[in-house]
Structure 1
Amino acid sequence: MSLPKTMKALVSYGQTDYRFVPDYPVPECGSDDIIIKTEGCGICAGDLKCRHGAAMFWGDDIQPGYARPPFVPGHEFLGVIAAMGSNVKGYALGERITADQIVPCGECMFCKSGKYWMCQVHNVFGFRKELPGGMAEYVKYPKNAVIHRVPQDMPLEQALLIEPYSCSKHAVDRGNIQCDEVVVISGAGTLGLGMVAYAAMKRPKALVSLDISDQRLAKAKEFGATHIFNPSKVDLMEEILKLTNGYGCDVYIEATGHPSSVIQGLKIIRKLGKFVEFSVFGAPTTVDWTIIGDTKELDIMGAHLSPYCFPFVIENISKGNLKTNGVVSNIFKIEEWEKAFEYAAGTHGDFKVAFAF
């Protein structure tokens, strides 16, 4: 199958400089590469924060910039194989596939020890010119891409949740939830809902979802939360203490990316509790680290990407064990990217917004 020379794409040429390009070059297929015809690509909170200049992508006085323009954004994508290099074995044209967000180098100490998601080179689709993402009609999967097959009969609205739900699974796994624990998940956006859906499968003593949107809380209840609280309307500390005989929650998973959620979590978690931080933050937060150390002796854990999670998520979305109904709420054409990014920010009540090609 011959590929066209150009394609429609959204391209970032620099901090806040994003443009629709109708004739961007289609990636060339090397001997070890796979080219997919993109079927769909979700818009992640990270994509929004990158577009609006978050320091973790563009750098500040503390951290170097990660983004390297010009690049095609998007890491929540899937498609069908349109071309393959001569060295590629085990795949066929027309197969439906997706891949982990990161393409590991295979040579650093993290890759060699199986911890590929922390690869020192750390090339993630959609933030660097060397690895264009899914907001384009065609995408190249290079040799080391961690590829997964997607069932042909899985609806696009479900398939678009494979990547975010895989991130959700990894974050929940980091919390090592036990059946006698009270678990609080802060944030009921797409990732928070994925966490609720997966955490519900572990059957904790109580599963609490927090959000300032009652619409999102209702969806969290549908997906398996046993308790839902809007912190802007209730005394959250009082409610959590009621649930836990005055101790505080056992596990707190932060999935909002808002500094206040971190402070809130440190307040309601019990001594010796487990705090999991997942989010991408648009601004720094300041907390009293005495709470973490000398006061509560907490286990603070980060959660990054979705290692080894895609197969489980694909299987359990297919079986209906991970609920997805209504999460993908709007799908746009790539030409409508400005409107799509506006909707993805949640200003119209959306959960997940995506592009379809």
Structure 2
Amino acid sequence: MKALKDGDSIPERMLAAYLTDPMQIELRQIPVPQIRDDEVLIRVESVGVCGSDVHYYEHGRIGRYVVERPLILGHECAGTVVRVGDGVHHLRVGDRVAVEPGVTCGRCPACKSGRYNLCPDVQFLATPPVDGAFAQYLAHRADFVYRIPDDMSFEQAALVEPFSVGLHALNRVRLQAGERVAIMGMGPVGLMCVIAAKMKGASEIVVGDVEPRRLDVALQMGATHAIHVGTQAVGEVVQDLFGGEGVDVGIETAGNPAALTSLFAMVRRGGRMGLVGMPPIAENTINVTQFVDDEIEMCGVFRYANTYPAGISLLRRIDTSSLITDAYPLSRVGEALERARTNKAGSIKVMVYPQR
């Protein structure tokens, strides 16, 4: 096993923040993880607070995933390699890295077909019962760890995770250069869809949300039209913008049933729709007659696959500083989660720094 020359640089114990009950975070001293031959040990530098972290914090569950024992949250992470397993050859001690949080089996039909995000045996950080990255050190399988360039910050590297969702969404709906896209929901994933759509050459990027600040940031990131869905009829606005033709592609990121319904008033005949957001209810009513008559294609978007190398290469070019609105040390993870839960008007991406 390869490690730092100064063995004292890696302590035997570390701090980790556990969700013990809904709305209850407890800081604990636990052993630094041991690594297997195919793993690396990462000194965690930055962890973004995701909407799923907030949902587990508030409710203790997301659908069939239930927190049944104390759980470390956090999966949008980056850091520095400090130990390398004997079977790892593409990473070295000292490498700055981004972490893809879902470790898959590599053997099932989904993995073999390249759609490993659908692996039934995935071990995803901060998804019960797998502990996440709100800790000072993290052991992770090395083939899901990617070196980042020197000019990329740890914050940007942590944002590669939600950016991957945006890239995968646009790959799923086959967005082409010159097409028009509408994106509903300007949380971090929606904003990442904006960045990805601009990079893919979308000619018009229409965004919708209820929070003015998020709409302003979307315009900074490349959106061409912003619609306040609380005061404007999005379908009418889009039809007016484009002479009644609508957009080629619509993406829903907020998990809002009303937002999904609104896409049908925005997408042109023969257009495509991608559903990213998980709604609070399992079923939603759609206009099947319009769906059939307009020959609309609709697809689900679950996490991502084969996006991290491209995500690192693309996101390093973008100034993401306006997305990071709040910073907390590991000792204040509870406050970070509460901030993300209650300050949707002001906070976009809350970042936790485990080494502070």
The answer to whether TM tops 0.5 is: yes
| Structure 2: unaligned runs, 5 residues or longer | none
Contact 1:72-1:127 within 8 A present in 2 as well: no
Determine helix, strand or coil for the equivalent of 1:263.
Answer: helix
Q: 1:120 to 1:36 in 2, by over 3 A?
A: same
Q: Distance in 2 between matches of 1:68 and 1:33?
A: 27
Aligned partner of 1:324: which letter?
Answer: T
Q: What is aligned with 1:62?
A: none
Matched, 1:114 2:114: yes
Determine helix, strand or coil for the equivalent of 1:160.
Answer: helix
Contact 1:266-1:291 within 8 A present in 2 as well: no
Question: TM-score, normalising length from structure 2?
Answer: 0.89
Matched, 1:354 2:351: yes
Indicate the larger mover: 72-81 or 111-120. 111-120
Aligned partner of 1:134: which letter?
Answer: A
Correspondence 1:333-344 to 2 at 5 A: 333-344=329-340
Q: Distance in 2 between matches of 1:257 and 1:54?
A: 18
Q: Distance in 1 between matches of 2:123 and 2:289?
A: 35
Aligned partner of 1:136: which letter?
Answer: A
Determine helix, strand or coil for the equivalent of 2:304.
Answer: coil
Q: Distance in 2 between matches of 1:153 and 1:282?
A: 39
Q: 1:271 to 1:132 in 2, by over 3 A?
A: same
What fraction of aligned residue pairs are identical, expressed as a percent? 27
Contact 1:162-1:314 within 8 A present in 2 as well: yes
Q: Distance in 2 between matches of 1:26 and 1:246?
A: 59
Aligned partner of 2:292: which letter?
Answer: D
Aligned residues: 346
Aligned partner of 1:83: which letter?
Answer: R
Q: What is aligned with 2:89?
A: 89
Determine helix, strand or coil for the equivalent of 1:29.
Answer: coil
Correspondence 1:257-336 to 2 at 5 A: 257-284=255-282, 286-291=284-289, 293-318=291-316, 320=317, 322-336=318-332
Q: CA deviation at 1:18?
A: 4.0
Q: What is aligned with 1:9?
A: 16
Post-superposition CA distance 1:303-332 (Å, at most 9, x none): 1222121112211222x2x44231011110
Q: 1:303 to 1:323 in 2, by over 3 A?
A: farther
Contact 2:252-2:259 within 8 A present in 1 as well: yes
Q: What is aligned with 2:167?
A: 169
Q: 1:128 to 1:28 in 2, by over 3 A?
A: farther
| Structure 1: unaligned runs, 5 residues or longer | 60-64
Question: TM-score, normalising length from structure 1?
Answer: 0.89
CA RMSD across the alignment = 2.2
Q: Distance in 2 between matches of 1:11 and 1:29?
A: 21
Post-superposition CA distance 1:273-312 (Å, at most 9, x none): 2110111333445213524643433211111222121112
Aligned partner of 1:166: which letter?
Answer: S
Q: Distance in 2 between matches of 1:341 and 1:283?
A: 23
Aligned partner of 2:132: which letter?
Answer: G
Q: Distance in 1 between matches of 2:79 and 2:156?
A: 13
Correspondence 1:141-152 to 2 at 5 A: 141-142=140-141, 145-152=143-150
